[in-house]
Every structure is written in C-alpha cells, then in structure tokens.
Structure 1
Amino acid sequence: MRVLFLGGAGMIGSAAAAEAARRGADVTVVTRSEPRRQPAPGVRALRADVRDTAALAGVLGGAEFDAVVNWVGFTPDDVRGHPALFDGSAGQYVFISTCSVFARPVPQLPITESSPRSQPEFGYPRDKIACELLLEEAYRSRGFPLTIVRPFHTYDRTVIPSLAGWTAIDRMRRGRPVVVHGDGTSLWSLTHSRDFARAFVPLLGNGHALGESVNVVSGDVLTWDQIHLALAAAAGVRRPVLRHAASEAFGEQVPGWREVLEHDFRHSMLFDTAKLRRLVPGFAPEVPFAEGAREVLAHYDAHPELQVVDPALDRAMDRLLGEA
C-alpha cells in the first residue's frame, strides 16, 4: 500500500508513519522543513509546503497513492485545493481533525461520531469544523474519497499531559500543592501515540471507512485528579497535595488558559468507541496511563534540559492557594 502523509512528522504522525512502515506500507512524508523527529526506517521524506497546492503537485509529480493523510489542515484555505488535486490520484483522503469539534457542554454522553459539532468561540476546533464541512461537501457532491479521523488528547514520552506540565511535577516533588481545575472529577480520555497508531493505520485503505468520521481514542477514562495522581506516582511522590480552583479563577490568574479551560478541559469527555472497534476488529489500547506516565517521567528525568518550570504559573498557583 502506498501512503502519503502531508505533514505528519510530529508526535502522533511520526508514530503512525512508523507503524504503517512496520506493517509493510510504502510511506512518503511531505514536510515544509526538516522534521524535528527523524522519519522511521523505510519512510521517505520530501520537502514542500503542503498548503501550497501548486508546489505540492510539483513535488508529487502525478504520483498515485492508496491513502493520503492530511495532518496539517487547520483552516479551510489549507485544504481547499485538495479535492481537485487528489481526485483520481488517491484511493482515500484522510483528514486529521479533533474530538474538540464536539459541542460543549456535550448534550449527551458518551460522545459518538454523530454527536453535534459546535464551537463558535474556540478558534482551533471552530476552524477544524469548517475544514470538515468543506471536505464533506466534496464527498457529497463529487464522491471525493474522504475519511475524517478525530484524535483526542494524545501523548507520548515527550509530553506531560496536563496543562501545568513540568511545573506541576516540580511542585509535587517540592511538596507544594498542585492546583487542579474544577473539583478534579471531570472525566477525560488519554491515548498513547502508540495506541493511536495501532488503531489508525488499519483505517488506511479501508473501504468501509470511506465517507465516515471516526473518533480514534483509547477509551481509557480518567478524572483529572487521577491523571495528576498517576503522574505523581511516576515522579516518586507518594502523597501529592492536590487542591482545586474554579476554571474561571484559573483563567483569571493564567489568561492563556482561559479559552482552553472554558471550552475544552473543564467538560467531561467520555467516548463511545464502537465504530472504531467495528472498523478495526480486535483493537484495544495496550498502554494504560500508569505505564505511560512512568514512560514520560523516565524520559524527563533522563533529559534535565526538559525540566522547565514556568515561574508565572508557579506564582499563579500560589495566588490561587492564597499564599502570594
């Protein structure tokens, strides 16, 4: 199978490319500049701005692919020329969207692929919805072979999956309280990039996925307190001190967090994975978060240069605790 990745040199894209190559696919990755993560063995790399349709057509030279995956479509202008470019030369066009497109608060849990999409204020998912609608119209009007894939919160060893990042780990290790938004009980789902890749690659070239949208999530459901407790355990902190503050209060102290807290992280997100399991029979996540957290902390402890504390965030937590 010949697979083209537009972008895809980041965390989840590189994991998916490595998994596709491992399964015997002929994988080509097109990036605008030298990727920060080196392609896996057997993955071919090309240089072009994938948002420049003419430049992309030039570097591809009329090649045909069984599946084209767009990892870097963030606004309608990024994808507008792709139906014409890949019509007839791609057996499948996979658009990487996000589960953040679903309305908040969610009208009904668990979330399915047919749950309502609505995000009038938060720019990132609002623009992803616009991309989905443009490509869906190409599917409806001209048979463009579209599949929409929606990851949720995905991580690997390089990513601490909490808003506070290393600052939270540092505070735990110093015996300082870590402030968690809300009351810490809202539900969240984390997916390791290896699990994402194992679920995602079988969708490539899968005729049953044409015309479909698929939420590619692990189904591993955790509260935000549980996420922080797992990170603490991996960091060797047996009795972490967690405190709570309203999302609105956090947004006042850390303005950069206001949008993501208001429209994303404060809401419970519980997913029905029935469609994914129908399309990829036998899929089940293999990396529980306790194991993933140990992998993350081992990586950060082996690379002290990554252990960067945000002084402004550290002070903001103290203010929320009434200690500054």
Structure 2
Amino acid sequence: MKVLFIGGTGLISEAVSKLAVRRGIELYLFNRGERSEHVPHGAQVIQGDIRDSAGAAEALKGHEFDVVVDWIAFTPQHVQLDIELFAGKTKQYIFISSASAYQKPLKHYRITEETPLANPYWQYSRDKIACEQLLLEVHRNSGFPVTIVRPSHTYGNTAIPAALTSWQHPWSLIERIRKGQPLVIHGDGTSLWTLTHNTDFAKGFVGLLGHPDTIGEAVHITSDESLSWNQIYAAIGEAAGREPKVVHMSTDFIAAHTPAGTADGLIGDQAVSAVFDNSKLKRLVPDYEAVVPFAEGIKQSVLWFENHPQLRTADPAWSAMLDALISKHGVDAKLLSYYV
C-alpha cells in the first residue's frame, strides 16, 4: 500500500508513521523537512509546503497514492486545496478532525460518532466541523473518498498532558510540581476526561488505512480509560515524584482572569466530561485495544524528558500567569467569605 502523510512528524502522526513503516506500508511524508529527526527509517520524504498549492502540485507530480492523510489541515481552505490536489489521485483521503467538535454541552455523557457536532466556544473546533461538512458534501456530490478521524486528547513521550498548561514548554508543569508550586484544576476536578497514548492511537489508525468501509464515515480513536482531572494530576505528580499542590477554581473564573484565548480549549473541550464509545472503531479494526494506562504513559513521558535535558525548558510567563491567577482567586475567596 502506497500512503502519503502530509506532515507525519508531529506528536500523533510520528507514532503512526513508525507503525505504518513497521507494518510494511510504503510511506511517503510530504513536509518542509524541518523535523527530519522524527522521520522513521524506511519512510521517504518529499520536501515541500502544502500551503503552496502550485509548488505542492509540482513536487507530487507523477505520484498517485492508495491513501492520503493530511495531518495539518485546520480550515476549509486547507481541505479545499487538498480536494483539488488529490481528486482522482487517491482511493482514500483521511481528514484529521477533532473530538472537540462534538456537541458542547453534551445531551448524553457517552460520545459516539452519532453525537451531533456543535461547539460554540472554540473556533478551532468550529473550523474542524466546517472542514468535515465540506468534505462530506464533496463526497456526496462527486464521490471524493473521504474518511474522517477524530482524535481526542492524545499524548506521547514529548508531551505532559494537562488542562491549563504550557503547550510549548510542557516540562514547566513538572518543574512547578517539584518546586512545590501549586497548579490549577478547573471545577472540583471530578469531571471525567480521556487521554490516549499515541502508540495506542496508531494501532487504531493504521487499521483504517485503505479500509473500504470507512469511506464517507467518521471514526474517533481514543482509550477506553476515563479518569477524573484529580486522578490525572495525581498520576502526573506520582510520575514527577511529588504530590502536586492544586487549587480548584471555576472555569469561568479562569477565563475571566487569564489573557484572551488562554482558556478557549478549556471552555470548549476539557471542562466538559468526555467518555467515548469506541464500538465503531473496534468493528472496523477488531484487534484494536488501548493498552497504555495513563499512569504508565505519563511515567514514560517524564522519563523521556529526564533523558533529554535540553528539552526541559521552562515557561516563566505561563508560571507567572498561574501565580497571578491563584493570587486573584485567593483574594476573591477571602472577600466572598467576609461578605457571606
């Protein structure tokens, strides 16, 4: 099977690329070549920029693929370029959407692929929904062979997954725990969340490559393990070697006292319980099983950072933001108790 990954070296896609090569897939990566250290041995790289439509067409000239996966399409404009570029040149086009596109708030706690798509809180999610709608319309009208995959919160060695965190400097969370500095958990920490290790995601995803029953369908790929945010932070603390100090506060308070956009993903995704039904995936990929519990996966992540000291970078601005947020919350709590 000849497969093209647009991107292919990111947090999720790197694990999929490695597994695809191990399973004998003829894998090509189309990207700008800036993360060559993450290209698995055996994959071939075609260098180019997918945002440059003319340049991409020239670089891919003469190629046809059984499957094309775009890991870095975020807007309808992105997928429209893909439609123009790959129509008639692939048997399957996989769009990476997001489980954050599912209805917020949910009418039923258990999420299936039939759960409506609606997210009035996060532009990222609305853009993904618009991409799905465009692709399915083109599929209905012209037979464009789209498959939609919706990851939820997926992590791997290079990530310390949490809610209010520094995405660019994930080690900052571990640093605060080890220094005894408090972290912030939204609400009372009892809402449920699902974290999926990228190696588990890869097993489900590779099973969908070239699968004829997925054309015109959407599938999410997640772990079956659901944890409260209190349990998640406790597991991170155990991996860090110190029980974390935490401050609980409402999501609305966090949004009101952090810079604009900081809490968009929290309000539009993580503050709402997310428990997934993976029955559809398991029908399509019968051997799929998520086997990495978060308590084990986060230990692997911390160990990976321990072995890569150059990547244990701090984010002073994020840490200062947390301190200011916690300080403001403490003042407001004292005032409330005084008036009550």
TM-score, scaled to structure 2? 0.90
SS at match of 2:306: helix
Between the aligned partners of 1:142 and 1:304, the Cα distance in structure 2 is 51
| Contact 1:178-1:317 at 8 Å conserved across structures | no
Name which of 162, 166, 171 aligns with 2:171: 166
Is 1:144 paired with 2:152?
Answer: no
Please state how far the C-alpha of 1:309 moved relative to its aligned partner. Answer: 4.1
Read off the aligned partner of 2:250 and give its amino acid letter. A
Residue of structure 1 equivalent to 2:73: 73
Name which of 235, 250, 255 aligns with 1:251: 255
| Contact 2:219-2:281 at 8 Å conserved across structures | yes
Please state how far the C-alpha of 1:83 moved relative to its aligned partner. Answer: 2.5
Between the aligned partners of 1:56 and 1:20, the Cα distance in structure 2 is 23
Q: Deviations over 1:155-201 (max 9, x none)?
A: 11111101324343233222333221111011111011111111100
Residue of structure 1 equivalent to 2:2: 2
Residue of structure 1 equivalent to 2:22: 22
1:162-241 pair list within 5 angstroms? 162=162, 163-164=164-165, 165-237=170-242, 239-241=243-245
SS at match of 2:51: coil
Q: Deviations over 1:111-168 (max 9, x none)?
A: 1111111123411111111111111011101111110001110111111101324343
Please state how far the C-alpha of 1:45 moved relative to its aligned partner. Answer: 0.6
- Bigger drift between 244-253 and 200-209 goes to 244-253
Residue of structure 2 equivalent to 1:312: 320
Between the aligned partners of 2:251 and 2:182, the Cα distance in structure 1 is 17
Between the aligned partners of 2:244 and 2:53, the Cα distance in structure 1 is 51
Please state how far the C-alpha of 1:59 moved relative to its aligned partner. Answer: 1.0
Q: Which runs of 5+ in 1 are unaligned?
A: none
Dislocated runs of 4+, deviation >4 Å: none
Give the superposed CA RMSD.
1.8
Between the aligned partners of 1:282 and 1:116, the Cα distance in structure 2 is 27
Residue of structure 1 equivalent to 2:246: 242
| Contact 2:57-2:85 at 8 Å conserved across structures | yes
Q: Deviations over 1:229-267 (max 9, x none)?
A: 000001111x43332111111123322422222211111
Between the aligned partners of 1:279 and 1:316, the Cα distance in structure 2 is 48
Residue of structure 2 equivalent to 1:93: 93
Residue of structure 2 equivalent to 1:130: 130
Between the aligned partners of 1:30 and 1:160, the Cα distance in structure 2 is 27
Read off the aligned partner of 1:303 and give its amino acid letter. H
TM-score, scaled to structure 1? 0.94
SS at match of 2:139: helix
Between the aligned partners of 1:323 and 1:61, the Cα distance in structure 2 is 62
Please state how far the C-alpha of 1:72 moved relative to its aligned partner. Answer: 1.1
Please state how far the C-alpha of 1:36 moved relative to its aligned partner. Answer: 5.6
- Bigger drift between 82-91 and 23-32 goes to 82-91
| Contact 1:10-1:37 at 8 Å conserved across structures | no
Q: Which runs of 5+ in 2 are unaligned?
A: 333-340
Residue of structure 2 equivalent to 1:280: 285
Read off the aligned partner of 2:43 and give its amino acid letter. V
| Contact 1:300-1:307 at 8 Å conserved across structures | no
Q: Deviations over 1:71-106 (max 9, x none)?
A: 111111111132333222201110111111112111
Give the fraction of aligned pairs with identical amino acids, expressed as a percent.
Answer: 43
Read off the aligned partner of 2:88 and give its amino acid letter. G
SS at match of 1:169: helix
Between the aligned partners of 2:97 and 2:91, the Cα distance in structure 1 is 19
| Contact 1:248-1:258 at 8 Å conserved across structures | no
| Contact 2:76-2:134 at 8 Å conserved across structures | yes
Between the aligned partners of 1:307 and 1:320, the Cα distance in structure 2 is 26
| Contact 2:156-2:198 at 8 Å conserved across structures | yes
Please state how far the C-alpha of 1:37 moved relative to its aligned partner. Answer: 4.1
Read off the aligned partner of 2:110 and give its amino acid letter. P
